[in-house]
Amino acid sequence: MGMDIYGLNPTIIGDKPEFPDNFRNLSDKAQDYYWELDKEWEDNNPGYYFRANIWSWRVINAICHAAIEKFNLDISTHGWESNSGFGSDDSTECNVLADALQEFIKAMEENDVKELGINMGMWTTKKDNGFQVEELEEKDLKILNILYDGVIDELPVKYKTVAGKAVEIYPSHSTNINHLKEFILFLRNCNGFKIL
């Protein structure tokens, strides 16, 4: 589950590759070739689409709120927490927000922060194939919630459980600096957006 964010009036370069009707019947090589073409088209049209899973989007949305507050911007984020069609239809707002977010990126880079997380009471472990929920004892959760209340900018968290197990964990809601940079690029090219 995630957020599919579409630009309202992006500049489009080239034709988007059409998804083949017979995709399942194509060879692996032909399927891979389609996905390469599709990715190349999206890379050349950064204002068309931005994707974020719900875990990452909550952090990006929180950073947007913080940027709007810090720079006293007149931008409403009503409905941005869900994929119900809200967003912004104002390209100037998008660019102003992108400028504000760029200041956050600058501060992250100056402090060598590559990832940000928000403690919302769930923790994960990074595996080769992605993140997996880390089952922790109630005592450990209480300790982590006290030690890491709110935003966490040093990830992974190195923690020794009450039972003595050393773990490297992440809050379930986190994003990395490159994903935030992708969102800024999207904002600069979307001319308004809708979250679906």
pLDDT in tens, 67-83: 999 999 999 999 999 99
What pLDDT was estimated at residue 2?
A: 85
pLDDT category, 7, cuts 50, 70, 90?
very high
- What pLDDT, on the 0 to 100 scale, is given for residue 1? 65
* Angstrom distance (rounded) from CA 168 to CA 190: 37
Distance in angstroms (rounded) separating the CA atoms of residues 171 and 88: 29
User: What SS3 class is residue 1?
Assistant: coil
* Residue 174 in this model has a pLDDT that exceeds 70: yes
Which whole number is the average pLDDT over 7-28? Answer: 94
pLDDT of residue 58: 94
| Integer Cα distance of 6 and 195 in angstroms | 7
Q: Using the structure block, give the residue that is written with the tokens 């309202």.
A: 8
Q: What is the mean pLDDT of residues 42-53?
A: 95
Rounded to the nearest integer, the mean pLDDT of the chain is: 93
Q: Which residues contact 12 (CB under 8 A, 6 or more apart)?
A: 45, 48
Can you give the pLDDT at residue 143?
Answer: 93
pLDDT digits (tens, 9 = 90+) for 114-156: 999 999 888 988 877 777 888 888 999 999 989 998 899 999 9
CA angle 94, 54, 10 (to 5 degrees): 30
